[in-house]
Structure formats: C-alpha cells, structure tokens
Amino acid sequence: MTAEPHSNPLSPERHHGPRLDPQALGLVTDLYQLTMMAGYRARGVHQRPAIFEVFIRRLPPGRGAMIFAGLEPLLQDLVNLRFSAEQIEWLKSLAIFQNATIPSAFWEELAVLRFTGDVWAMREGEVAFANEPLMRVQAPLSEAQWIESYVLASLSYPTLVATKAARMVQAAKGRPVIDFGLRRGHGPHAGLLAARVGWIAGFAGTSHVEAARLWNIPAFGTMAHAWIQSYGEERETDAFAEFAALFPHAPTVLVDTFETLEGIRKAARIHPPVAAIRLDSGDLPNLARRARAILDDHQRSSTRIFASGDLDEYKIDALTRAEVPIDAFGVGTEFITGGDIPKLSIVYKLVELDGRPVIKRAEGKRTHPFGKQVWRSQDCVGIFRGDYVTHRDESAEGEPLLIPAIAGGRLVEPRPNLETIRAYCADRWANIPAELRDLQHPGTYPVSYSERLERASRAMGL
C-alpha cells in the first residue's frame, strides 16, 4: 500500500475531464498490476507463459443463467492497448517506482508494450453459468496481469445488464421493450454500453440517440412534459394535435402532465388518431385499463398504450400476467443500474503458469487449475442439458464454447456484427431449460468437471 504525494502541476483542463483516451488505455488499470509487471521484469519471469481465466463465481440471486456481453468492444480495446509517453513519465515519478530496483529496460519496454497473447472466449451473447470459464487469456505473464482490471471492468456490467434486459424481454411476452435509461446510468458512458447490450438481448430499441447512431439501433422517442407545459393545461389538446401534425410518423403523446384520465380523453379525440399514448406515472394497471376503454370508446382501438416508470422484469411480468392492456414498455432506472442486482462477481484468475497447474486456495471458493474448455450438450430439440468443463487439451461431447477471439495479439477475423450477436443471443436464450427462466426461483444448470480437472484440483489440496 503506497500513498503517492500529489504534487504534480496540472493544467486546468486536466482537472475535471472524466474521459479515457482510446489511444492510451494502458493506464486504465490498478496500480498493483504495474508493480507486479515491474517485479516480474526484475525477476526475469515476465515472459513466462501464463493462463488466466474469467469466470462468474456465483450467479446473482434469482438468476438461472447469464448473458455473456461486452466482448467485442473489449477485444478491440485489447489489441489497441498501450501507454502514452506522458503516462510512462508520470508513472516513473511515483514514489513506489522511484524507490524500486527495477531494470531501466522495463520503462522502455512499457513504451512499446502491446498485448501479444491469445484470447479464447465464449461468443458475445452466449448463455453462461457460474464456475465455468467465459474467457481464457494465454499470454506472457506480464501482459496477462496488465489487462486484468480492464477486462473485468469491460465484461461485468454488460453481462449484468444484458441479462437484466433478457429477463425484461421475457416478462414482456412479445411486447416491445425499449431502453430509456441514459439519464439514470452510472455516468454518460453507461448509457452507451446499456443501449448496446439491451439491443443484443432483445430490446426493440433505445431513446439514446448517439447509441442508436453508432450501432444502428432503432431510435425511439415520445414527448416531453415540457412540451405540454409550454401550452398550459387549458391547451393540452392543442399540444397533442400540433405535435401529431408536426410528427405524423407514429406520434406518441404523454397524457399524465395534469389529469391523466382527462389527458387520455383529449388524446383520444385527436384526428388522425395518434399512434400511442404514454403513461409514465400513477397506478398503471388501473390507468391502462381505463385508457383502453376510453380509446376504444373513441374508435381508437389501433392507438397503443405505452407504459414506463420504474418498471422492472417483476412489474412487467405482473402486468402481462394480469393481461393489463399495455402494448409496449419503456425501461430506465431498473434496467440501466441493474435494478435489484447492480453488481456481478466476475473474477480473473491465474490457472496455469509454464504449463503447471495453479490455484488460489481461499476458503469456500472451489476452483480448478489449468486452462480449460467448456463443452455444452443439447437434447434432441436443442435445449441445453449441461456444461462439461475439461482441460483445454481434452476432447468431449458437445459444442466447445471457447473459441479463438485474439491470436498473437490480433483479432481473429471476421468479428460478428451487432445483428449477428443479437440473433445468436436470441437463439441461445431460447434454448435454456424452462426452469432456469423462473424470475424468482430458477433451477440450477448442471456444470460438471472432467476427472482430469478434479484430480488436479484434489492434488492441490482442494
């Protein structure tokens, strides 16, 4: 543990800019990774072939399966990972390095360091379970150590919210679910990540315009309360009518600015009929049923009801089970923050060094050494029956899930585009056993280990 003096003069613009430089992501790591790298270099072990694996220690409560996400952006960053000259100069100035006996070659090597290893990974959009490798990194020890923090920071959140999105889509039973989360994410960048994985997991689109543009995701939008307020309550009908006239492409109007039922009646009288009304507050089951009746009474049976407001998979499930007449859902806070589960215990562990088995023997944490492969079996209609984890050199029945993604520091081409990932995810999620889909009390999916791994584990005292 080292407190560094903070004495560097900083230009004012460096005081606040909360952004990462995509050309210098090398320093987006924890300090100990860099001291480890320097130490490995001093010992001359930095080039020893190491294998680290990424896995989920345990599934969060209520989750029967996870969707592995965040892979493709991570891979692009990994092959581009480097330090800027400025970063290296700054690093050298830290007291921990100033006082260390590190070969000067270390700093020269850092300036040209790239990730030159191999990455094997599940496809993005794959269904994943606890205690099986999602990714295997085979690289010189120093490089594999370097990337740990960035790998975990890049995979855990997308995996968490892709899974959340899939649960919401499932609960909506065919009705569109749309990401409205931008304003509620953990910083403006979280909105980009969430919009992308929401689309992967089956959302119908996003309100996040830049995300829609970058990834070609359908952009959705309704109307602001301020629009209605700019007319005033007595002119709410004008507010609806003028909006629909200006934007005749599927206009959706917000009816809860003043008196919701009155707003619905006004919206029902607009000509031509609006495409949808949006309910964003209040008692949704009651309001939606009354809205449906009002709309139908006004020959507006084609006008849809769009609902939002702190919706999660549990509320959506209750609404669709009760056959509340809601046609589409907007999800914000509960989606983008992970809602009931805002964190995921993904870890990155050394399992093999110089071909020898390695483990961390902490109490209560069962692990298997060696680089591994995961083999998935399906029944005659394609439902997943179980995963079988073997040493990476073993063969087994089923489909091997870890496939080469980076080889010798280069992307294994072609990479899937987002549409391919989305289709793959839908296909895989459709094949999980039905009991894993229970939102509250899912069953447990069988993951077993080869005798060779079990023997290796026992031989190391586990």
Phi, then psi, of 251 in degrees rounded to 5: -70, 135
Q: Which is nearer to its own copies, 205 or 433 (CB)?
A: 205
Nearer to its own copies, 418 or 432 (CB): 418
Q: How far is the CB of 242 from its own copies (least distance, A)?
A: 7
Q: Cα(77)–Cα(29) distance, rounded to whole angstroms?
A: 13
Q: How far is the CB of 162 from its own copies (least distance, A)?
A: 13
**Alpha-carbon span 103 to 121, nearest angstrom:** 34
CB of 307 to its own copies, least distance (A): 11
Based on its alpha-carbon atoms, the radius of gyration of the chain, rounded to whole angstroms, reads 26
Nearer to its own copies, 97 or 388 (CB): 97
Which lies closer to its own copies via its Cβ, residue 203 or residue 445?
203
**Quick one: 206 or 432, whose CB is closer to its own copies?**
206
Q: What is the 3-state secondary structure (H, E, C) of 402-459?
A: CEEEEECCEECCCCCCHHHHHHHHHHHHCCCCHHHHCCCCCCCCCEEECHHHHHHHHH
Least CB distance from residue 91 to its own copies, whole Å? Answer: 7
Complex with its own copies: residue 358 or 396, whichever CB lies closer: 358
Q: Which is nearer to its own copies, 327 or 400 (CB)?
A: 327
Shortest distance, position 451 Cβ to its own copies, whole Å: 24
DSSP state at residue 219: B
Which of 178, 389 has the CB closer to its own copies? Answer: 178
Least spacing, CB of residue 28 vs its own copies, in Å: 5
* CB-based contact 198:224 (threshold 8 Å): no
Write out the DSSP string of 86-151.
HHHHHHHTSHHHHTS---THHHHHHHT----SEEEEPPTT-EE-BTSEEEEEEEEHHHHHHTHHHH
Q: CB of 183: closest distance to its own copies in angstroms?
A: 4
Q: How far is CA 146 from the centre of its chain?
A: 22
Smallest distance from the beta carbon of 373 to its own copies, in angstroms?
22
Distance CA 248, CA 240 (A): 11
Q: With contact defined as beta carbons under 8 Å apart, do 136 and 372 qualify?
A: yes
242 Cβ contact list (under 8 Å, min separation 6): none
The whole-angstrom separation of Cα 17 and Cα 120 is 35
CB of 375 to its own copies, least distance (A): 27
Q: How many residues does the chain have?
A: 462
Looking at beta carbons only, is 178 or 436 nearer to its own copies? 178
- Torsion angles phi and psi, residue 330, rounded to 5: -105, 130
